[in-house]
Amino acid sequence: PMERPFMIVATQNPIEQEGTYRLPEAQLDRFFFKIDVGYPTLEEEVTILQRAASDADALSTGATEAVLDPEELERARSLVRQVRCEERLLRYIAGIVDRTRHDGSLMLGASPRASLAILMGSKARAALEGRDFVTPEDVQAVVPPVLRHRVQLTPEREMEGLTPDQVIALLVKQVEVPR
């Protein structure tokens, strides 16, 4: 067995996918978030260049530096577990995910694993914001990275140029925000 915590961070090049195979939906569902990083800003790119210019090893993929140890990570996870999420927000999360299963724009809706990821992501966001409770804004903030790789647009929607994020935004608007 692997030592806990065991996590994997995976990357995907959205441009060049020739010679690679798409992951099956069941495997995609096991990824917590899909975060689109995009290009760095001009200032971020200058910082990258400055680091590379001053340190020849700055761009090497060899040595990495730990930012926290396993005990610190476990304390953070424990803190997140203590964040409260009221039933009205649990119903909100379930309502958003359920909506993905009944929308004509989607061939594939999200599984209960998505609901769990929204819950845990919302709790983590609340903890990062210094709160011990989840708000609707926490839920809304994590819905796109949780769902964008778990839903599958119909070919018609894809041909219209819609993206998963656009459809997700429309679905979220259709679910009443709890007060």
Q: What is the reported pTM? A: 0.87
Name the token pair of 163: 């993206």
Closest CA to 7 of 60, 82, 73: 73
Cα(13)–Cα(169) distance, integer angstroms: 24
Q: Give the mean pLDDT of 57-83.
A: 83
> Is residue 175's pLDDT more than 80?
yes
> Is residue 171's pLDDT more than 90?
yes
Q: Band of the pLDDT at 89, cuts 50, 70, 90?
A: very high
Token pair 């400055």 is found at 50
Report the first-to-last Cα separation within the chain, whole angstroms: 44
* Domains of the chain, residue spans: 84-179
Name the token pair of 89: 């927000």
Closest CA to 178 of 130, 140, 121, 136: 136
Name the token pair of 124: 């983590």
Mean pLDDT of the chain: 90
Token pair 């119909």 is found at 154
Q: Are 99 and 168 in contact (CB under 8 A)?
A: no
Cα(175)–Cα(101) distance, integer angstroms: 13
Query: What pLDDT is stored for residue 56 in this prediction?
Result: 66
Query: What pLDDT is stored for residue 63 in this prediction?
Result: 63
Instruction: Decide which of 71 and 12 is more confident.
Output: 71
CATH ID of 84-179, from 1.20.1090.10, 1.10.8.80, 1.20.1560.10, 2.60.15.10: 1.10.8.80
Query: What pLDDT is stored for residue 169 in this prediction?
Result: 97
Q: Give the mean pLDDT of 55-83.
A: 82
pLDDT tens for 152-164 read 999 999 999 999 9
Provide the b/e sequence for 36-71 (b: ≥16 CB within 10 Å). Answer: eeeeeeeeeeeeeeeeeeeeeeeeeeeeeeeeeeee
Question: Residue 93's Cα: distance from chain center in Å?
Answer: 15
The phi-psi region of residue 163 (left if phi > 0; otherwise alpha if psi is between -120 and 50; otherwise beta) is: beta
Q: Are 142 and 118 in contact (CB under 8 A)?
A: yes
Q: Are 106 and 153 in contact (CB under 8 A)?
A: yes
Query: What pLDDT is stored for residue 59 in this prediction?
Result: 63
Give the rounded percent of residues in the chain with a pLDDT score beyond 70: 93
Query: What pLDDT is stored for residue 61 in this prediction?
Result: 61
